[in-house]
Amino acid sequence: MRTNLEKADLRTAFNYIIDPELNHIKKARFSLRGISGLLAKYNIDIEENF
């Protein structure tokens, strides 16, 4: 919480939960696979199948 992750490269990170409203993530890089870690607080399901 309240972490400066600006310009961080988290594309290979996994099993994280980061609240974008409580952390600085401007220009940080995330993989599509890890995007659920940014949306966890909203309790939504993300499916990979289109």
25-43 pLDDT per residue, tens: 999 999 998 999 999 999 9
Per-residue DSSP letters for the chain?
Answer: ---B-TT-EETT--S----TTTSB-TT-EE-GGGTHHHHGGGT----S--
Which single residue is written with the structure tokens 């966890």? 40
Kindly state the average pLDDT of the residues 44-50: 82
Q: How many Cα atoms occupy the beta-carbon half-sphere of 18 within 13 Å?
A: 22
Backbone phi, psi, residue 47, to 5°: -105, 145
Quote the tokens at residue 13: 């990170």
pTM attached to this predicted model: 0.81
pLDDT for res 9:
98
